[in-house]
């Protein structure tokens, strides 16, 4: 099972400019998490702080009992072997071809024979759809291929924690869907903890177990996916629907005058850039490809979420309960299986959920 | 790196200096870490040598010549014509050779190292390497610094020989000096420690050139333009440091090793 990452009160600034403060979250072991946020909110900086490439001003980031903010350099290199990191541009070594790039971690850290290395490398290249491109140099291939090669290199040591910095940027929607499936399949196969930083809404809705969002130098929220997907928080609603109305502006924040003007425009019938339907709400999560083992994270997460169910907002509770099967409802002691909305007769009164709807 | 705490004028310069020294110590420590990157080391040696040998030789000939010309005229006025050879050998081996070598290793080799490391840094290759649990200092910087040192030492020999030959040619052919006197006076004033200090200087200058180039390359500011600036700065910083260190080494040497015959 993947390692747990505990981040407590992490604060980072460059000079006088604060990037984010007091970020506290826990990446549950073996689960897939997504960190959303408008461009320029320090998502990449957050990733780099988690692996010790940047030194946060304050706070702790504990992995397997080692606080990587304060530990020694030798320890840091040791902990980093648990990580597989996919950088925004792939960060391949420009002087090596794809094969050598992917083989690099194996040659550095293992005593495997060349034959064995070849088998693993070709396997990972095939997994990322790069068979036949082994001899190409990073400068000779497209950005999407570089990204997939970067992923292949990140996977080659079977990491316990996989960090992906915008895996979808520069990829078309189809390749993004394949990549999403690949990440879920990986999670099913090696049970690694995965953190994806992105602003792709579709990926955020379907892939993760947990969702978080960074905005205005703070972590707006982080928790089970249902919480963010059903949130009434204006920032979250605006971001998920990709519209101009709301607190997020072209520069990170906008002032009251602009908000008022935009609202007036919207009232006069000018589109705010979003599609008509509300993209919020819990949608079914991506499942591993048939034939692969079951994702252990799903059950662990359900157990964990059901324990904290009472502390979640009502809309999220509803979303979670609706996503449970009959057997699961019984298992979690929700004895009287509530009628699912589809079975509810039109005239029947909808039962109130604990806490009540607003 | 962090915490915009209280600052005073010059704090930035001190911080940079401190980090440069930290990198230098890091490099020294990592030289002894196994596995040694032999392949990278040989490639870098070959690369630095290939970009420096010809310019160094071409600079060394006129350098030997101006020393011979200047000293020749001066010494004739003093009436010590027969010591021209001794004086020019001392000047070339002790001062000219290590400096010429270092300027070219820094200017041709160091700038290339800085540009290479700098572009790797902005492409996040260095970050990626660190994340893969491989120390970029051990993997990339150490072989380059060692290569710069080795090439500097070897080039130093080349410059000494070419420079002395240039001096000989100008003294004997153009100024009508006697070949015998020129060669015989070699050992009149020069001594073996002069050669040692020359090679030691070249070694140290090569180290400085390599470390400064690597340091600027690892810390470029603001994208591709930053790499260009970093290369520029690395050459200028190296030159400044070289002349200062040369001054210190020369002063110490003259105090420690007594001049011949005194």
- Per-residue pLDDT tens over the stretch A55-73: 888 888 888 888 888 888 8
DSSP class per residue in A31-82: -EEEEE--TTSSHHHHHHHHTTSS--SEEEEEETTEETTTS-HHHHHHHHTT
Count CB atoms within 10 A of the CB of residue B216. Answer: 31
At residue A355, the 3 state secondary structure works out as coil
The string of DSSP codes covering B219-251 is S--SHHHHHHHHHHHHHHHHHHHHHHHHHHHHH
Q: Quick one: CA dihedral A125, A178, A94, A141, positive or negative? A: positive
Instruction: Give, to the nearest 10 degrees, the angle between helix A143-155 and helix A173-190.
Output: 0
CA distance B192 to B43: 33
Extract the residue ranges of chain A whose pLDDT is less than 70: 252-253, 275-276, 335-358
State whether residue B35 sits within 8 Å of chain A by CB: no
The pLDDT tens digits of the residues spanning A177-212 come to: 888 888 888 888 888 899 999 888 888 888 888 888
What is the structure's pLDDT at A246? 76
User: How is the beta sheet containing A17-27 ordered, strand by strand?
Assistant: A17-27, A5-14, A58-63, A66-67
**Closest-CA residue in chain B for A154?**
B132
The answer to whether A16 contacts B4, with C-beta atoms less than 8 Å apart, is yes
pLDDT at B123: 84
Q: CA-to-CA distance for A35 and A215, rounded, in angstroms?
A: 11
Reference B100, options B12, B160, B143; nearest CA is B160
CB A16 within 8 A of CB A3: no
Per the rule left: phi > 0, alpha: psi between -120 and 50, beta: everything else, B208 is alpha
**Cβ separation of B129 and A88 shorter than 8 Å?**
no
Q: What per-residue confidence (pLDDT) applies to A338?
A: 52
With an 8 Å Cβ cutoff, is A91 touching chain B?
A: yes
* Residue whose tokens read 């490391």: B117
For chain A, domain boundaries? 1-82+159-247, 94-149, 296-339
The whole-number pLDDT of residue A267 equals 79
Instruction: Retrieve residue B144's tokens.
Output: 């380059």
Q: What is the dihedral of CA A190, A196, A200, A204, to 10 degrees?
A: 70
Cβ-count burial of B124 within 10 angstroms (0-12 exposed, 13-18 middle, 19+ buried)? buried
Coil vs helix vs strand at A85: strand
DSSP secondary structure letter of residue A138: G
- Domain A1-82+159-247 adopts which CATH fold? Rossmann fold (3.40.50)
Tell me, what's the pLDDT at B145? 92
Spatial CA neighbour of A29 closest among A63, A59, A53 = A63
Q: What is the pLDDT of residues B60-109, one digit of tens each?
A: 888 888 887 887 788 878 877 777 778 788 888 888 888 888 888 888 88
Sheet with strand A210-215: strands edge to edge: A83-86, A161-165, A193-197, A32-36, A210-215, A218-224
Instruction: Mark yes or no for CB contact A80/B129 under 8 Å.
Output: no
Of A77, A91, A92, the CB nearest to B133: A77
Looking at the complex, report in whole angstroms how far the Cα of residue A52 sits from the nearest Cα belonging to chain B. 9
d(CA B78, CA B258): 24
Spatial contact of A102 and A154, defined as CB atoms under 8 Å apart: no
Below-70 pLDDT ranges, chain B: 1-6, 260-262
HSE-up of residue B100 (Cα within 13 Å, Cβ side): 30
Beta bridge partners of A33: A195, A210
The pLDDT of residue B114 is 92
Tokens linked to B101:
């070598």
Predicted confidence at residue A217, as pLDDT, reads: 81
- Residue A327 CA to residue A313 CA, distance in Å, equals 24
Q: What is the DSSP letter of A248?
A: B
In whole angstroms, what is the distance from residue B17 CA to residue A329 CA?
65
- Supply the angle between the helices B192-218 and B11-31 in degrees, to the nearest 10: 110
Task: Specify whether the CB–CB gap between B39 and B146 falls below 8 A.
Answer: no
Is the Cβ of A48 closer than 8 Å to some Cβ of chain B? yes
Instruction: Please write down the long-range contacts of B25-32, taking CB distance under 8 Å and 24 or more positions apart.
Output: B26/B137, B26/B141, B27/B137, B27/B141, B27/B142, B27/B145, B27/B210, B27/B211, B27/B214, B30/B135, B30/B137, B30/B138, B30/B141, B30/B142, B31/B142, B31/B146
Probe site for chain A from B131, B138, B222 (most A CB atoms < 10 A): B131
**pLDDT value of residue A177:** 87
pLDDT, residue B6, reads 60
Query: Which chain B positions have a beta carbon within 8 Å of A13's beta carbon?
Result: 2, 4
């Amino acid at each position: 099972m993947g390692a747990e990452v505990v981040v407590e009160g992490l604060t980072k600034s460059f000079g006088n400019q604060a990037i984010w403060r007091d970020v506290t979250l826990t990446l549950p072991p073996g689960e897939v998490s997504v960190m959303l946020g408008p461009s320029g909110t320090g998502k990449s900086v957050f990733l780099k702080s988690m692996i010790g490439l940047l030194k946060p001003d304050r706070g702790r980031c504990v992995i397997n009992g080692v606080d990587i903010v304060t530990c020694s350099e030798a320890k840091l290199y040791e902990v980093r072997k648990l990580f597989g990191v996919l950088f925004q541009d792939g960060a391949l070594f420009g002087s090596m071809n794809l094969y050598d790039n992917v083989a690099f971690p194996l040659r550095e850290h293992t005593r495997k024979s060349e034959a064995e290395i070849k088998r693993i490398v070709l396997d990972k290249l095939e997994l990322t759809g790069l068979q036949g491109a082994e001899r190409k140099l990073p400068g000779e291939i497209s950005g999407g291929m570089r990204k997939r090669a970067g992923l292949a290199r990140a996977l080659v040591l079977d990491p316990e924690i996989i960090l992906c910095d915008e895996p979808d940027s520069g990829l078309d929607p189809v390749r993004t869907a394949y990549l999403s499936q690949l990440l879920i399949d990986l999670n099913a196969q090696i049970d690694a903890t995965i953190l994806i930083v992105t602003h792709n809404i579709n990926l955020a809705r379907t892939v993760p177990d947990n969702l978080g969002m960074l905005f205005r130098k703070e972590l707006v929220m982080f928790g089970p996916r249902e919480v963010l997907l059903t949130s009434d928080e204006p920032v979250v609603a605006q971001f998920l629907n990709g519209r101009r109305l709301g607190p997020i502006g072209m520069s990170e924040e906008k002032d009251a005058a602009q908000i008022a003007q935009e609202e007036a425009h919207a009232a006069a019938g000018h589109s705010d850039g979003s599609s008509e339907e509300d993209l919020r709400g819990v949608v079914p999560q991506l499942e591993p490809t048939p034939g692969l083992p079951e994702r252990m994270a799903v059950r662990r997460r359900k157990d964990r979420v059901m324990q904290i169910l009472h502390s979640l907002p009502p809309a999220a509770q509803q979303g979670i309960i609706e996503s449970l099967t009959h057997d699961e409802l019984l298992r979690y002691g929700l004895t009287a299986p509530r009628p699912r909305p589809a079975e509810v007769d039109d005239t029947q009164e909808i039962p109130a959920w604990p806490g009540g709807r607003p | 790196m962090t915490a915009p705490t209280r600052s005073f004028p010059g704090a930035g310069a001190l911080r940079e200096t401190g980090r440069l020294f930290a990198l230098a110590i890091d490099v020294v420590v990592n030289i002894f870490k196994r596995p040694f990157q032999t392949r990278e080391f040989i490639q870098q040696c070959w690369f630095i040598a290939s970009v420096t040998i010809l310019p160094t030789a071409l600079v060394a000939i006129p350098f030997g010549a101006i020393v011979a010309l200047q000293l020749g005229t001066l010494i004739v006025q003093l009436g010590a014509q027969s010591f021209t050879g001794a004086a020019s050998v001392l000047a070339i081996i002790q001062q000219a050779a290590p400096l010429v070598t270092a300027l070219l290793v820094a200017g041709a080799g160091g700038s290339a190292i800085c540009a290479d490391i700098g572009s790797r840094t902005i492409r996040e290759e260095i970050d990626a390497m660190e994340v893969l649990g491989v120390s970029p200092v051990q993997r990339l910087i150490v072989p380059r610094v060692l290569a710069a040192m080795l090439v500097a030492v070897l080039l130093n020999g080349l410059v000494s020989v070419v420079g002395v030959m240039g001096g000989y040619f100008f003294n004997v052919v153009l100024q009508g000096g006697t070949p015998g006197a020129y060669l015989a006076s070699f050992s009149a004033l020069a001594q073996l420690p002069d050669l040692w200090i020359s090679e030691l200087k070249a070694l140290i200058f090569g180290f400085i050139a390599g470390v400064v180039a690597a340091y600027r390359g690892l810390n470029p500011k603001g994208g591709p333009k930053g790499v260009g600036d970093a290369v520029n700065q690395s050459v200028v910083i190296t030159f400044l440091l070289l002349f200062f260190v040369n001054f210190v080494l020369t002063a110490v040497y003259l105090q420690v090793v007594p001049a011949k015959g005194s």
